[in-house]
Amino acid sequence: MTDLRPLHDWSGPPAVLTLWCPSAASMEHAKRAPVSCVLPSYEQEQHLHAFRACEQRHEVMARLLVVVWEERGRCDLRAMTHVVTTHVRRHDTYHSWFEERDGAIVRHVLEAPAGIQMEPSMLGDVSAEDWQAHVMATPAPFAWDCFRFGILQRMSGFTCFASIDHLHADATAIAFLMTEIRSAYRAVIDGEKPHHLGPPGSYLDYCIDQRRRAAAMTLADPEVKRWIAFLERNNGRMPAFALPLGVLEDRYQAEYVHVDILDDTVMDAFELVCHAYGARAIGGLLACAALTERELAGRSRYSVVTPTTTRRSPDAFRTTGWCVGVVPIDFDVQQQTFPELALTAQRNFDERLSLAEVPVELVLELAAGLPTVGSVATGGVMLSYMDVNVSPLGAQIAREWHQANGRVYINRGSAAQVAIWLFRTQRGLSLTAAYPANETARASMRRYVKAFAGACRRAADTVMPTCSDVGLDR
């Protein structure tokens, strides 16, 4: 990917919008889908409960992943109809829909995916604001059709996009999703065989396997014990952000900041420094975050959760779905220097990576009788890192993404944590953060980003004394 941007940052000249949605017959087919014994994944279940809670508070949820890329020429609508229909039929996560029954989430699964047909609707000239509104109208996660595909046609070419509720996608799958649609479209219009991407895995199988492993876990399992110890070190809940946020509750209306931290040359230097000290980029960035909290808040211990994919096989990386766990990170900072902290953070991450396979919601279920652990995993701070120059499926997909100017947007909404996304791109290192929409949190985030950028620059200066400035006036 390039980096992550809020949807309201999208800009562009007027264009002709065509939107693909399931046909009326497909909608009727979905309504008749029988109940399945396959439970939702923990990711899906948490998402659906969170959406319902937002709905009851009349809040908008940040729930959409919107992938956007560029194509040349005039879109062949007939060919694209075939391609997006095939895509939806191909991935079984799209074949489920969910409902609540007595507080539980029940899955329905379409019996004949071949009956799904996507249909185009030409909606005429739209402005950037109009396009955003159409994207925001993507149905909610309790609707089967909580996904949309579309194009914006201009004289010089067209912009492709897919707006998918997080229920059915995560960041790891985004580049592959684009490559699959792009490759299939080119094959249809050129009359060639599509690039062989290999068969996808089954997201239903992922859910079955996750629930099977969860059913066998108890408080005696080492992974569960380590999760509980992590929560107890944070007063029974997820880690708290180091600076004032101006709110007491866990949920709030979020706003976003996006900053380029290091250019490509300086980021190369930063990675070299990390490797020299026995760490990778993730270890170095966690060390910089720890130094930032020590500088700004005097914290002697750093604590955060960082998401990572739970895909483990090639076919899993070809699967559209939500396959993400979080790694609980915490370590002493004290008076340690960057080299020491980078190695400590890397070892902490590597040693705890397996804990991402244990959903924190499961841990809370098992720990329900413990007075030292809270009942919900809300609040806290998340730090995510992704190197988008290296696709899990190889360099070809990474190249495709950059050649097509791939981007990802998220819609603005309420949030339950401070979220910090770091992206390593061909331009360098960028940061996007979501935080409470008030002046106190805004000032805190400005201080945090400036200090974090400084820590990254100082680390890179170890081998490269001259670094470019970071624009922090926003």
Looking at the structure, tell me whether residues 243 and 179 fall in a common domain.
Answer: no
3-state secondary structure of 364: helix
Looking at the structure, tell me whether residues 91 and 236 fall in a common domain.
Answer: no
What values do phi and psi take at 463, rounded to 5?
-115, -10
Residue 444 in domain: yes
Domain final residue, candidates 161, 182, 206: 206
Residue 425's closest CA among 267, 256, 257?
A: 267
Looking at the structure, tell me whether residues 95 and 16 fall in a common domain.
Answer: yes
Residue 283 in domain: yes
Enter the pTM of the model. Answer: 0.92
pLDDT recorded at residue 425:
84
Token representation of residue 25: 């017959």
pLDDT recorded at residue 465:
44
Residue 179 in domain: yes
Residue 147's closest CA among 76, 87, 74?
A: 87
Q: Is the pLDDT of residue 469 over 90?
A: no
Looking at the structure, tell me whether residues 151 and 23 fall in a common domain.
Answer: yes
In this structure, are residues 204 and 38 in contact, taking their beta carbons and an 8 Å threshold?
Answer: yes
Looking at the structure, tell me whether residues 202 and 249 fall in a common domain.
Answer: no
Which sign, positive or negative, has the C-alpha torsion 401, 402, 405, 408?
A: positive
Token representation of residue 106: 């029940």
3-state secondary structure of 55: helix
Looking at the structure, tell me whether residues 24 and 96 fall in a common domain.
Answer: yes
Q: How many C-alpha atoms does 433 have within 13 Å on its Cβ side? A: 26
Looking at the structure, tell me whether residues 196 and 228 fall in a common domain.
Answer: no
Q: Is the pLDDT of residue 12 over 90?
A: no
Looking at the structure, tell me whether residues 258 and 313 fall in a common domain.
Answer: yes
Token representation of residue 10: 């999208």
In this structure, are residues 412 and 272 in contact, taking their beta carbons and an 8 Å threshold?
Answer: no
* Number of Cβ within a 10 Å radius of residue 245: 19
Mean of per-residue pLDDT scores for the chain: 91
Residue 41's closest CA among 261, 284, 207, 278?
A: 207
Residue 467 in domain: no
Domain CATH number, residue 82: 3.30.559.10
Kind of pairing between the strands at 381-387 and 418-425: parallel
**Residue type at 269 in one-letter notation:** A
Looking at the structure, tell me whether residues 249 and 396 fall in a common domain.
Answer: yes
pLDDT recorded at residue 39:
97
Domain CATH number, residue 254: 3.30.559.30
Looking at the structure, tell me whether residues 198 and 239 fall in a common domain.
Answer: no
Residue 214 in domain: no
Q: Which of 108-122, 178-192, 394-408 has the highest mean pLDDT?
A: 108-122
Q: How confident is the model at residue 470 (pLDDT cuts 50, 70, 90)?
A: very low
What's the rounded Cα separation, in Å, for the pair 6 and 255?
Answer: 9
Residue 323 in domain: yes
Domain final residue, candidates 175, 206, 237: 206
What's the rounded Cα separation, in Å, for the pair 449 and 446?
Answer: 5
Long-range contacts of 368-375 (CB under 8 A, 24+ apart): 370/228, 372/228, 372/231, 372/232, 372/236, 373/228, 373/231, 373/232, 373/236, 373/237, 374/231, 374/236, 374/237
Spacing of C-alpha 185 from chain mean position: 25
- pLDDT tens sequence across 292-320: 999 999 999 999 999 999 998 888 888 99
What's the rounded Cα separation, in Å, for the pair 378 and 363?
Answer: 13
What's the rounded Cα separation, in Å, for the pair 248 and 232?
Answer: 20
* Angle, CA of 199, 165 and 101, to the nearest 5°: 100
Give 106's contacts (C-beta < 8 A, 6+ positions apart): 35, 98, 99, 100
* Number of Cβ within a 10 Å radius of residue 198: 10
Looking at the structure, tell me whether residues 153 and 94 fall in a common domain.
Answer: yes
Residue 465 in domain: no
What's the rounded Cα separation, in Å, for the pair 413 and 62?
Answer: 4
**Residue type at 220 in one-letter notation:** A
- pLDDT tens sequence across 236-281: 999 999 999 998 777 788 899 999 999 999 999 999 999 999 999 9
Domain that holds residue 111: 4-206
> How many domains, the chain?
2
Domain final residue, candidates 180, 206, 232: 206
Token representation of residue 21: 């949605």
Looking at the structure, tell me whether residues 377 and 408 fall in a common domain.
Answer: yes
Q: Is the pLDDT of residue 396 over 70?
A: yes
Q: How confident is the model at residue 400 (pLDDT cuts 50, 70, 90)?
A: confident
Residue 474 in domain: no
